[in-house]
Amino acid sequence: MKETRAAKYGRNLAVWVNHTIHAIPAEKRTHYRSRFVQEIRKYSFEPKRKDAKPNSGCTYELRSIEHCNVSNPWDLAKLVKEGIHLMYQKNTAKRVIDSLLENI
């Protein structure tokens, strides 16, 4: 089966995330990765109905972050989630995140 565009994006996003993780001191990498994955899994795939108020799936991830600190796994995960949210509808976002999690 041919790799979908979303899966390819998720796989390549994982390359970037893995590169970032390898910049973290070796003794902290496992903890960093687990915190990153934990935050990524909070991504809501709940769609927003037309003309409805925002729901839990419409979270503005970067609201609490002034400057993204990639040495903080929560910040990096929120940056990744916000990028996926802006670029993709929920069903495509799920394929991107599934591929990302498969490849980190």
Confidence class for position 5, pLDDT limits 50, 70, 90: confident
Selection from 65, 88, 66, 83 nearest residue 16 by Cα: 83
Q: State the virtual CA torsion across 18, 22, 23, 28 in degrees, nearest 10.
A: 110
Q: How far is CA 19 from the centre of its chain?
A: 15
pTM reported for the whole predicted model:
0.78
Domain boundaries, the chain: 5-103
54: which 2 tokens? 């925002």
pLDDT tens for residues 31-84? 999 999 999 998 887 776 777 776 665 666 667 777 888 889 988 898 888 888
CA dist 99 and 65 (Å) reads 26
Distance CA 6, CA 102 (A): 13
